A and B are shown apart, each in its own frame.
Chain A
Amino acid sequence: MGAELGKYKACVSARSTDKEILKHAQDGGIVTSLLGYALDTGIIDGAIVAVNKEFAAKHQSLIMRDNTNWDMVEPWRPFPAVVSTKADLLAAAGTKYNISPNVSMIKEATRSFGLDKVGIVGTPCQMQAVRKLQLYPIGARDVGAAVALAVGIFCMENFPYQSILQLVEDHAAMKMESVKKMEIGKGKFWIYGKRGQVVQLPLKVTHKYEQPGCHVCLDYVANLGDISTGSVGSPDGWSTVFVRSKIGDSVWANAMAAGVFETQPIEKVKPGLELVTKLANEKITKNKNTLEARKTFGVGKALRSPYI
């Protein structure tokens, strides 16, 4: 293979120097710190992130309008929101393992929010969506050039909300309300409770619950982000960071100069790029097989492939 990690100018292991961010972040707080730095320095004037229900209910003017009944919204359901303060960014930190359609806000961000320079965080598929709408802006007038910073997060798979609910409440026998953090790492799905309990589920259990659309996905490390980041490859509390585009390069260099991050060479950390490469290859190979299998899914009938 060889292309599994995408194009990049640099790869490091990094974490935020902001203790407050590290307290709330999923891993090294790369996303929150980077967007925060970009806000501070005017690189962006707002960012699209995934907020939780408490934040969303309180700041309804910042989220997408949908049919939500706030009395009924479950914990751990993410909502895409356009935020423009560091406090709000912090409130959005942490991974929510179910779908947050962040790209749904990208046009509105430039409209009723009045943003000229939009930041966005998203999974690899969401980065693909952003780049597609920049090159082929079919329903995205005056949006492409306004995307000032796109931060991609690594992603093996995502889940529908009900899947997470069943994993947490059935398999792990915990209440959704009492979950503090969820994480996939070291071959397990980890659920941390607010009272300190920790449950781990083998990934064998989680596979069935994955969203089917993920099974044709050919990108693990957000090849199309300006900067992409994830936990895999770096020690606990640290993140692996790929600096990919010209924009990414300049933002990262400036953030480093401003002391936003501390870094270690990726070659020096364990498990390092080797594991990232291995997982990326596994994902891509598996999903290429799915795409192949779709060709002969029926009798003389194929399922569609989106790739041309």
Chain B
Amino acid sequence: MADKITLGYTHLSGCTGCTVALADNYAGLLTLLDRYVDLKYMPTLADVRHVQKVDVSFVEGSCCINDKLAVEELKETREKSTVVVALGGCACYGNITRFSRGGQQNQPQHEAYLPIGDIIKVDVYIPGCAPTPQMIRNVAVMAYLLLKGTKEQKELATAFLKPLMMAAQRGTTACFCELMTEVINQGLCMGCGSCASACPVNAITHEYGKPQGERDLCIKCGACYNQCPRSWFSFDVVENYEAINEAIMAALQ
């Protein structure tokens, strides 16, 4: 037990799709819990009712700043966690809650929703709506290696997590517009198609090879931007894809 990392899961204004994604590691979830992760707090899967002191906290959902409880819980999560991971499009970029504008019963004053990075310092991003089980798994294993591993394992984990930490530093907006402004407008797009396959609402097609975004469909999840190899790309890590994939798979055997 002692050499596992402790994990908390704070649920704000999200849909629990991120939680389902975590659970969708299927048998791998059981292995993670057996060996690497001690689930300390997670209202959906565990009984503990209040935020605990943990090594790593996943936060799902954006934060309604008109809801005192949500803001407090988020701040408490920051204070009690060594590493805070924004899990999913809502926590990272606001996602659909960016469109919220209040006025609905029974709490018409619930109007303003912010990605958590606008309220607390966030260490790691896992974008996507829903995020993928494999991405959650990879980050969990890497967080374990970072906190409990050997020197080499720590280095590997640092290299792996670095782009996700930089994504957290970069800011709280990413949607098809960022693909335009930071990739296409910058002359970086080469038409690989990753963005279109990443989009969870089919908002991107390729016309004459280049991405066309239907902005009336885009939900602002940030998957396209972060999946694009021309938004960020780490040779250090990706050139070693074979060894890293093997290490992760071995960890789950």
Q: Interface residues, chain A, CB within 8 Å of chain B?
A: 6-7, 64-67, 77-78, 80, 98-108, 122-123, 125-126, 128-129, 131-145, 158, 160-162, 211-218, 223-224, 245-246, 303-304, 306-308
Contact = CB atoms under 8 A, between A and B. Distances in A.
A6 to B, nearest CB: 8
Interface of B: 21, 24, 126-128, 130-135, 138, 160, 162-164, 166, 182-183, 186-200, 202, 205-212, 221, 223-224, 226-227, 229-235, 237-239, 241-242, 244-245
Given A158-B190, A217-B190, A306 B209 contact: no
A303 B186 contact: yes
Nearest to A305: B188
12 contacts: A98-B208, A102-B192, A103-B193, A128-B192, A128-B238, A132-B229, A135-B138, A158-B190, A211-B190, A306-B231, A306-B233, A307-B233
Contacts of A101: 191-193, 196, 206, 209, 211
Contacts of B21: 141
A224 B205 contact: no
Chain B contact residues, majority secondary structure: mixed
Contacts of A223: 239
A126 B192 contact: yes
Given A128-B233, A306-B232, A139 B199 contact: yes
Contacts of A136: 135, 138, 163-164, 226-227
Contact of A307 (B182, B235, B242): B235
A133 to B, nearest CB: 6
Contacts of A80: 193
B120 to A, nearest CB: 22
Given A105-B193, A307-B233, 18 more contacts: A64-B193, A67-B205, A99-B191, A101-B196, A125-B192, A128-B192, A133-B194, A133-B197, A135-B237, A135-B241, A137-B134, A138-B198, A141-B130, A142-B133, A211-B191, A212-B187, A224-B238, A306-B232
B197 A135 contact: no
B208 A160 contact: yes
Give the most central of B160, B187, B193: most A CB within 10 Å: B193
A213 B241 contact: no
A138 B133 contact: no
B196 to A, nearest CB: 4
B244 A135 contact: yes
Contacts of B130: 141
A128 B166 CA distance: 19
A32 B202 CA distance: 30
Contacts of A217: 190
B206 A304 contact: no
B218 to A, nearest CB: 13
A106 to B, nearest CB: 5
A100 B166 CA distance: 30
